[in-house]
Amino acid sequence: MPLLRGHHLICLNFFNGEGYDEAFIKNLQNLLSRMEEEKITIFYGTDDVCINCPYLKENRCLYSENSDREIMEMDTKALALLALSHGDKVEWSELKEKIRKIFSEWFYLYCKECDWRNACEKNASFQKLKYLHRTKEQQ
């Protein structure tokens, strides 16, 4: 079963084939394939996405000075929004439905300033949810 931390539960939904390097991208593609067939185990900490990240050192994210702390905060918020906890098991299809419902808040809190936003903008699901988010704001 794939192990995923909070923010990866949301962000993997918008993967478009881009990543740090070929090994990282291949890992994400394999994970997504497995997630279509297997339940996902919710995990708090370094997960199956992190293993191929070039910024993972000694089980910590060194992308930036505060990234490890910021990621843990994002994970906590993601799990709260998705109403999930460490150790829970969830189907990818169920997770996609939950993401649709919480996208507006997640977008406002995290997507606007995210370094990966340009990559997500190329994803059709991201575009659709962003459109629905804008429409919802205008009502």
pTM comes to 0.90
Q: Indicate if the pLDDT at residue 75 is higher than 80.
A: yes
Question: Does the structure show a pLDDT above 90 at 133?
Answer: no
The structural domains of the chain, with segments of one domain joined by +, span 3-138
Give the model's confidence band at 137: pLDDT under 50 very low, under 70 low, under 90 confident, else very high. low
Mean pLDDT of the chain: 92
- Angle at which helix 92-109 crosses helix 124-138, to 10 degrees, equals 50
